[in-house]
Structure 1
Amino acid sequence: MKTLSPYLPLAFRLDTISVLIIGGGVVALNKLRLFLGRGCIIHVWAKDVHSEIKKAYDDGKISLHIGPFSEKELDRFFPDIGLIFAATDKEEINLLISEKAFQYRVPVCVVDNPALSSFITPAFVNRDPVQIAITSGGASPVLARRLRQKIEAELPTNLGQAAQFMQAQRSWLKEKIPHIEKRRHIWESFIDSAHFEDALAGDYCKAKHALEALVNNEEKQGEVWLVGAGPGHADLLTLAALRLMQNADSVLYDNLVSDEVLDRVRRDAERVYVGKERSKHSLPQEDIHKELSRRAKRGERVLRLKGGDPFIFGRGGEEMEALLKEGISVRVVPGVTAANGCGASAGIPLTHRDCAQSCIFLTGHARADGSLNLYWPSLARKGQTLVIYMGLAPLETLCDQLIKHGLPATWPIAVIEKGTCSDERVVTGQLRNIAAKVQAENIKSPALLIVGEVVLHRAKTNMITSQFFAPKEGRYETSVSPRAWRGSFING
Structure 2
Amino acid sequence: MTDRLTVFPAFFRVADKRVAVFGNGDEAFAKVRLLLNTQAHIVAFANQPEANYAALLAERGIETVRAPFDATQVDGATLVFAATGDAAFDREIVRTARAAGIPANAVDQPDWCDFLTPALVNRAPVAVAIGTEGAGPVLAQMIRARIDQILPPSLGRLAQLAQTYRRAVEVLLPKGNARRGYWKRFFTGDVAEAVASGDLSTARRTATRMLKASGPSEGRVFLVGAGPGAEDLLTLRAQRLLMEADVILFDALVPQAVVDLGRRDAERISVGKRKGCHSKPQSEINQLLVTLGREGKRVVRLKAGDPLVFGRAGEEMAALREAGIAYEIVPGVTSALAAAADFELPATLRGVSSSLVFTTGHDLKGDILPDWARLAISGATVAVYMGRSVAASVAGRLMEIGVSAETTVAVVENAGRADRRMLHGTLADLPALEHRDELTGPVMVIIGDAVAGANFTHSNPLAEPLAAGRPVVPVSPLAARADGDYERIASDISILQTGEHR
Same fold (TM over 0.5): yes
- AA aligned to 1:384 is A
Structure 1: which amino acid aligns with 2:313?
A: G
The equivalent residue for 2:304 is 307
Q: Do the aligned partners of 2:221 and 2:326 also contact (CA within 8 Å) in 1? A: yes
Identity in percent: 33
| Superposition deviation, residue 14 in structure 1 | 6.7
Query: What is the distance in 2 between the residues matched to 1:383 and 1:8?
Result: 63
Q: Which residue of 2 aligns with 1:372?
A: 365
Cα 1:286–1:352 shift into 2, 3 Å: same
Whether the 8 Å contact between 1:410 and 1:431 is mirrored in structure 2 is: yes
Query: Distance between the aligned counterparts of 1:220 and 1:238, measured in 2?
Result: 27
Deviations 1:319-366 (A, max 9, x none): 111222223233223333222332234222222243324332211359
Residue type at the aligned position of 2:446: I
CA contact (8 A) 1:382 1:452 kept: no
Distance 1:254 1:193, change over 3 A: same
Cα deviation, residue 453, structure 1: 1.2
Match of 2:219, as an amino acid?
G
Matching residue of 1:54 = 95
Give the number of aligned pairs: 383
Residue in 2 that maps onto 1:422: 418
Residues 228 and 333 in structure 1, CA contact (< 8 A), matched pair in contact too: yes
Residue among 115, 119, 138 paired with 1:142: 138
For 1:265, which of 250, 262, 279 is the aligned residue? 262
Q: CA deviation at 1:37?
A: 8.9
- One-letter amino acid matched to 2:424: T
Query: Against the structure 1 CA distance between its residues 165 and 57, is the aligned structure 2 distance closer, same or farther, given a 3 Å change threshold?
Result: farther
Q: Hey, what does 1:484 align to over in structure 2?
A: none
Query: Is the contact between residue 182 and residue 211 of structure 2 (CA under 8 Å) also seen in structure 1?
Result: no
The superposition leaves residues 386-410 of structure 1 with CA deviations (integer Å, 9 ceiling, x where unpaired) of 2111111222333233334433333
Structure 1: state its 5+ residue gaps: 1-5, 16-25, 39-46, 64-85, 90-119, 463-471, 479-492
Q: Which moved more, 1:429-438 or 1:126-135?
A: 126-135
Kindly report which structure 2 residues correspond to 1:324-473, keeping only aligned pairs within 5 A, or say none.
324-365=321-362, 372-373=365-366, 375-376=368-369, 379=373, 381-436=377-432, 442-459=438-455
> Greater CA deviation, 334-343 or 54-63?
54-63
Shift of 1:428: 0.8
1:434 deviates by: 3.7
Q: Secondary structure at the match of 2:452?
A: helix
Residue identity in the other structure for 1:251: I
- 1:266 Cα offset (Å): 3.6
**Structure 2: which 5+ residue stretches go unaligned?**
12-26, 36-76, 80-87, 459-472, 480-502
287-296 or 167-176, which deviates more: 167-176
Matching residue of 1:187: 187
Alignment partners' CA distance in 2, 1:234 and 1:363: 25
**Alignment partner for residue 292 of structure 2, among 275, 280, 295?**
295
Change (3 A) 1:440 1:122: farther
CA distance in 1, matches of 2:259, 2:320: 24
- What letter corresponds to residue 304 of structure 1 in structure 2? R
Distance (whole Å) between structure 2 residues aligned to residue 14 and residue 414 of structure 1: 55
Report the TM-score, using the length of structure 2 for normalisation.
0.60
2:135 & 2:448 partners in 1: Cα distance? 44
Q: TM-score, normalised by structure 1?
A: 0.61
Is 2:319 the counterpart of 1:278?
no
Decide whether the 8 Å contact of 2:390 with 2:434 is kept in 1: no
Measure how far apart 1:419 and its partner are. Answer: 1.7
Per-residue Cα deviation, 1:193-228 (whole angstroms, up to 9, x for no partner)? 3499899xxx9xx99887433312464431222222
CA distance 1:415–1:178, shift in 2 (3 Å): same
Aligned equivalent of 1:132: 128
Measure the CA separation in 1 of the matches of 2:395 and 2:137: 52
Distance verdict in 2 for CA 1:172–1:53, change over 3 Å = farther
Q: One-letter code of the match for 1:178?
A: N
| Residues 88 and 290 (structure 1), Cα distance of their counterparts in 2 relative to 1, 3 Å cut | same
Deviations 1:2-41 (A, max 9, x none): xxxx9999x96779xxxxxxxxxx9xxx9xx9xx999xxx
1:249 and 1:372 map into 2 onto residues whose CA distance is 42
Counterpart of 2:340 in structure 1: which amino acid?
Answer: G
Q: Find out whether 1:474 has 2:470 as its counterpart.
A: no
